[in-house]
């Protein structure tokens, strides 16, 4: 390996091209190596590859580099499926064999548990797989009008920049949505507000009358004129989508076209309402939701994840079970199907309202939902809820630190099933449960909710023995 030349601290000086062997992957899917004791994160490199690289970001304790040449290729390297790979920042692992992606995520989970909290699972669960392409049912697409080229870009952000990627398809989006990217570019270019439309949020529900329900929320910063309205309505009708608009905060989200969902036609062999919804057939459940409300982006793997959570939780009739960070009741209602008495707690009032509606729709009456700021939980507030035999915890990326810290002897459940979207905060909370609260980490494993990305979803079970 060639030694690095001395240079001053200015990042304007071009870094030399160096050579190294990649040791591992980090949490963002970058190759990791060390040069003269300094950590280098190399975009596009895989473990065991010998690469030449050039640093683009130089910090005192680490550097971020791009691959110049792969000199010795990993046998796990594959040809990326998407033509926009390497430009679009949406997927970072398409160049790695799919099974190897999941194995790398499992290793990352194990490493975080050990290095952050010195915790090991007694049993590492087999990873949960789902569809590898066309799985994404929710996303936010950025929009940019490029005046010099008289073009509109619609897509994800470029890798390593703040620019919108020049793309006309996306392999991880539902195909019906991927095919809308180019027509959306042409549509927006014709609008008077083409430079005042920075984002499109999309949500896809399951099929109704053999057709996916697709909603596009246009974030608009100026008023539509009459011609804009004509064009948007024609687009919605031609592509059979719903267009909603958002002018300011989430409270301003409104249906634009069609403004009213169709009425029930008793003679038609169609669903009564063209509304967003997903189902859990195994539990006989249907969940309506609004396009801006949180639901899992991958409905197929969501079904598998819930099945595993129920296998670990083993809810029994008449048990008292808490579902913390319950959202719209994704786990709450399947737990309640067992006959257990369930309390779902969630910080957002609109999600609690939707969960209550779903409980009524599915005729479940032994479940209760309430609004609670779980990031401000205290031992006293937790004790006031009473004792539960079991918990289901599904927090956002920040984890459930205050909730876990609040556990006392009188409020400690016998079993906790923890669903995580961030292995680092799971590991932190696992350390508290195991090292301070007396729990054993009985099982843990990854859920490949986001194939081809570095995102790691996981599930863990803690027990008091």
Which CATH number is 28's domain given? Answer: 2.40.50.140
Domain contains 7: no
Say if residue 340 is in the same domain as residue 439: yes
- List the strands of the sheet with 320-324, edge to edge: 367-371, 341-346, 320-324, 390-393, 415-420, 457-463, 440-447
pLDDT tens over the chain, length 465 residues: 444 444 444 445 688 999 999 999 998 899 999 999 999 999 999 999 999 999 999 999 999 999 999 999 999 999 999 999 989 988 999 999 999 999 999 999 999 999 999 999 999 999 999 999 999 999 999 999 999 999 999 999 998 889 999 999 999 999 999 999 999 999 999 999 999 999 999 999 999 888 999 999 999 999 999 999 999 999 999 999 999 999 999 999 999 999 765 443 434 433 334 799 999 999 999 999 999 999 999 999 999 999 999 999 999 999 999 999 999 999 999 999 999 999 999 999 999 999 999 999 999 999 999 999 999 999 999 999 999 999 999 999 999 999 999 999 999 999 999 999 999 999 999 999 999 999 999 999 999 999 999 999 999 999 998
Domain contains 279: no
Say if residue 164 is in the same domain as residue 206: yes
Say if residue 348 is in the same domain as residue 451: yes
The CATH number that applies at residue 178 is 2.40.50.1070
Say if residue 316 is in the same domain as residue 457: yes
Domain contains 286: no
Domain contains 375: yes
Say if residue 346 is in the same domain as residue 404: yes
Provide the domain count of the chain.
3
In the three-class reduction of DSSP (H, G, I as helix; E, B as strand; rest coil), residue 214 is classed as strand
The CATH number that applies at residue 329 is 3.40.50.150
Domain contains 77: no
| C-alpha to C-alpha distance for 389 and 231, rounded to whole angstroms | 56
Which residues are identified as catalytic?
421
Boundary-marking domain end, from 238, 257, 276? 257
| C-alpha to C-alpha distance for 37 and 249, rounded to whole angstroms | 47
pTM: 0.91
Domain contains 376: yes
Domain contains 86: no
Residue 242 near residue 274, CB atoms below 8 Å: yes
Domain that holds residue 315: 103-131+298-463
């Amino acid at each position: 390996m060639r030694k690095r030349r001395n240079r001053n601290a200015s990042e304007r000086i071009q870094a030399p091209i160096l050579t190294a062997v990649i040791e591992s992957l980090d949490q963002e899917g970058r190759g990791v190596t060390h040069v003269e004791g300094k950590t280098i994160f190399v975009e596009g490199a895989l473990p065991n590859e010998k690469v030449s690289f050039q640093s683009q970001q130089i910090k005192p304790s680490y550097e971020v580099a791009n691959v110049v040449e792969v000199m010795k290729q990993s046998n796990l390297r594959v040809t990326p499926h998407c033509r926009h790979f390497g430009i679009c920042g949406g997927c970072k692992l398409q160049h790695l064999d799919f099974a190897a992606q999941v194995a790398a995520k499992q290793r990352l989970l194990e490493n975080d548990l050990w290095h952050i909290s010195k915790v090991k699972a007694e049993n590492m669960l087999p990873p949960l797989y789902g569809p590898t392409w066309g799985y994404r049912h929710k996303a936010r697409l950025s929009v940019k009008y490029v005046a010099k080229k008289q073009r509109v870009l619609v897509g994800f952000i470029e890798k390593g920049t703040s620019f919108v990627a020049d793309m006309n398809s996306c392999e991880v989006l539902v195909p019906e949505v991927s095919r809308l990217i180019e027509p959306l570019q042409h549509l927006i270019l014709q609008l008077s507000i083409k430079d005042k439309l920075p984002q499109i949020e999309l949500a896809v529900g399951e099929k109704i009358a053999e057709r996916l329900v697709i909603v596009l929320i246009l974030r608009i910063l100026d008023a539509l004129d009459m011609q804009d309205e004509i064009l948007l309505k024609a687009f919605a009708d031609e592509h059979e989508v719903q267009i909603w608009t958002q002018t300011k905060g989430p409270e301003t989200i409104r249906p634009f076209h069609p403004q009213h969902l169709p009425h029930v036609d008793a003679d038609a062999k169609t669903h009564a309402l063209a509304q967003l919804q997903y189902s859990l057939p195994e539990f006989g459940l249907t969940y309506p939701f609004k396009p801006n409300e949180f639901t899992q982006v991958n409905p197929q793997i969501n079904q598998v994840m819930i099945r595993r959570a129920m296998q670990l939780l083993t809810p029994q009739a008449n048990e008292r079970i808490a579902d913390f960070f319950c959202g719209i009741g994704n786990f709450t209602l399947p737990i309640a199907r067992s006959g257990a008495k369930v309390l779902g707690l969630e910080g957002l009032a609109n999600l609690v309202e939707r969960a209550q509606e779903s409980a009524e729709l599915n005729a479940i009456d032994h479940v209760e939902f309430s609004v609670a700021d779980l990031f401000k939980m205290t031992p006293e507030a937790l004790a006031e809820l009473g004792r539960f035999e079991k918990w289901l915890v599904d927090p956002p990326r920040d984890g459930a630190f205050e909730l876990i810290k609040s556990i006392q002897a009188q409020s400690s459940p016998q079993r906790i099933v923890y669903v995580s979207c961030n292995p680092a905060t799971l590991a932190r909370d696992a350390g508290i449960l195991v090292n301070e609260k007396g729990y054993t980490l009985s099982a843990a494993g990854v859920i490949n909710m986001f194939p081809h990305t570095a995102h790691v979803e996981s599930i863990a079970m803690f027990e008091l023995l």
